[in-house]
Chain A
Amino acid sequence: MELTNYLGLAAVLFAVGAATVLLRRNAIVVFMGVELMLNATNLAFVTFARIHGDVTGQVLAFFVMVVAAAEVVVGLAIIVMIFRARRSASVDDVNLLQS
């Protein structure tokens, strides 16, 4: 069934996003990794909706989009604030809290 290919793609995108969050050093890129994970979830939702033949999954994808948008607002604000205070958006420089 070719729909499983979409699920495979969703899983790969999710893994790429997770790897980005864990491995990359630039805060913006890390943040993009999170967004990639959320969008992979959306792909999985709509594919499953197609398999089940109902629209619930598509509606859920909208919920995830709205939440992702809200997260962008707060997240970018925090990253910009950090950048303005330190002139750097590298997650490695954010290390004052290690005792």
Chain B
Amino acid sequence: MNDFVAPTIDWAAVSPVLVVLGAGVLGVLLEAFVPARARRTTQITLTLAALVASLVAVGLLWERVSEGAVSVVGGSYLLTPFGLGIQAVIAISALLGVLVIADRTTTGQDSFAPAAAAVPGTTYEDEARRAGLQQTEIYPLLLFSTGGMLLFPATDDLIVMFVALEVLSLPLYVLCATARRRRLLSQEAAFKYFVLGAFASALFVFGVALVYGFAGTVRLQGVVQVLADPGTSPLGTMRGLVVVGLLLVLSGLLFKIGAAPFHTWTPDVYQGAPTPITGFMAACTKTAAVGALVRVLFTLAHGLDADTRHDVQVALWVVAILTMVIGSVVGAVQTDVKRLLAYSSIAHAGFVLVGVVGLDEVGSSAVVFYLLAYGLATIGAFAVVTLVRERTVSSDDRAGALGDTTDDGVVLGEATALAQWAGLGRRAPWLTAAFSLFLLSMAGIPLTAGFIAKFGVFSAAVEAGAWPLALLGVLGSAVSVFFYVRIIVFMVLTPPSDDEPGAVVEAAEDAGSVTGPAGGAPALTGTATRAVVARTVVTVVGSRGPAAVAIALCAVGVLLLGILPAGALDLAGQAAQFRP
């Protein structure tokens, strides 16, 4: 009777996602079968190989997809040139992000807890640390997350998009909780991210249910058809369903992008998560979510009537303006480097949305380039943060010996208080130069990638008739230039504050006090808190290679995209087309 007909699947088109997810599964198996001492090397090799393979697959598909979108299983997986462009950006960012994650620095410790499940401050935790355990599970988790991100913007099916959203989010919740130091903050970040993320996912999926109710299908193309011809669906005349559904879906996506008013989780999570994970998350998640937003919004806008489309654009205007203002203004008063970069990423979400409001191809090409420029600068900046550390003051340590990484003091967690970054230029000129370059790119100074990127999104907005928004964007950029340059001046011109050890004690205690939990007692160990450390100074640890390579690549990329953007702009132009 009903013979099962196997679907024909175009495996080549799915390969960028498949390679990464397959390597993730393989990574889980490796956890079980590879001996402990070889595990880390194997996992890192596998992860990097998978991401490179994914990038190569994207490159091989480029020619074919630019001739026409490739649809697999009726649109469940839909590779438009835009989707492929976003996948390329995600693969590049993830590759750089993994390099930073893999670095153990000259201290020989990576940023992850030896046993993430151990309660902070227990003997079990101490023993795990002494035994030199490592949590190599983070690499398969990263691959699963990256796989979800690659799938997120490359589907026409809202339920596949929902599954991709969860596949990218769930590993990230876990990764957020794995920091080696300041573990209570890390766990708290995971908790906040999880609760708010699950809430946003629920909004998203309820929106999908309403869209399904309207159209009888969750394929975006199908929804557009019903919008054009309401008679084809029993509820096709109830346009309210699709408008409310679209708004709920957009809320879910804007949450992942970190746009106001859904941005409140961003600073907390970015601060608490292990710094290399923060860089990975900031660049890749935002890229994937913007890709999905463009996919949903641009496709549906095609089917909406002029009035509704205008309403959606007004809503986007409001969100973009709010996001830029909050990111720039609140960011200007931050005293913690990671929080500051978090607010800067919120502001960037606003700038990207400026490019989106036109709902046309000029905007989608500008968005691809912007995300690449933003990803490079962000991963580079967070990579620098991982190398600036605190160190306990040893008995014979005098002000003159500061910055000498071979000293006998114990290197602790990252020195994230901005005050500790004063005079970094004297300790580590190259690192400071790279960090300054990333900040200048984020500010949008000419000859950096950020300038070309901002120029692209603003001119796309002007072309779409949204010049007030572009004007506000330029003003917002000007405000953010102020706070980026303030940090650079601070790093280069201000003398190091810990020439006077007393000043540092205060900074350390200030940071230490926030690590103690309400109950107080369990936090008092070396890994859980810095509160036991009476005196610390700032030091710069060396990279063991990968992070240095990542920083160098990011810096070269930022400069290259800024000085010779033609090639990348060409590619972004080819990746503009978002419709099949």
Contacts and interface: CB of A to CB of B under 8 A. Distances in A.
B119 A84 contact: yes
A53 to B, nearest CB: 8
B195 to A, nearest CB: 6
A23 interface: no
Given A40-B206, A97-B192, A71 B187 contact: no
Contacts, number: 145
A85 B522 contact: yes
Interface in A1-49: 7, 10, 14, 17-18, 21, 27, 30-31, 34, 37-38, 40-41, 44-45, 47-48
A70 B177 contact: no
B217 interface: yes
B268 A97 contact: yes
B172 to A, nearest CB: 10
Contact of A97 (B163, B188, B195, B334): B188
Contacts of B268: 97-98
Contacts of A27: 191, 195
B198 to A, nearest CB: 4
Nearest to B272: A97
A67 B163 contact: yes
Interface string A43-64: 0110110011010110010011
B65 to A, nearest CB: 27
Contacts of B209: 10, 41, 44-45, 48, 60
B202 A67 contact: no
B21 interface: no
Contact-residue size bin, chain B (C-beta under 8 Å from the other chain): 35 or more
Contact of B195 (A77, A87, A91): A91
Contacts of B201: 67, 71
Interface in B326-376: 334-336, 339
B202 A96 contact: no
Given A56-B217, A85-B120, A96-B184, A75 B212 contact: no
Contacts of B117: 81
Nearest to A54: B216
Contact of A52 (B192, B216, B271, B334): B216
Contact-residue size bin, chain A (C-beta under 8 Å from the other chain): 35 or more
Interface string B152-167: 0000000100110010
A51 B235 contact: yes
A91 B202 CA distance: 19
Nearest to B336: A99
Contact of A56 (B120, B185, B206, B216): B216
B213 interface: yes
B251 to A, nearest CB: 11
B518 A93 contact: yes
B515 interface: yes
B189 A97 contact: yes
B212 A96 contact: no
Contacts of A99: 267, 271, 334-336, 339
Most buried by B among A63, A88, A96: A96
A34 B205 CA distance: 12
Contact of B518 (A51, A79, A86): A86
Interface string B195-230: 100110111011011101100111000000000000
A86 B523 CA distance: 9
A82 B188 contact: yes
Nearest to B218: A60
B202 A41 contact: yes
A38 B205 contact: yes
Contacts of B240: none
A44 B212 CA distance: 9
A75 B187 contact: no
A97 B194 CA distance: 15
11 contacts: A44-B209, A44-B213, A51-B234, A56-B216, A81-B117, A81-B177, A85-B184, A88-B518, A88-B519, A97-B192, A97-B271
Interface of A: 7, 10, 14, 17-18, 21, 27, 30-31, 34, 37-38, 40-41, 44-45, 47-48, 51-52, 54, 56-57, 60, 63-64, 67, 70-71, 74-75, 77-79, 81-82, 84-88, 91, 93-94, 96-99
Given A82-B191, A87-B519, 7 more contacts: A37-B203, A56-B217, A60-B212, A71-B201, A81-B117, A85-B183, A99-B336
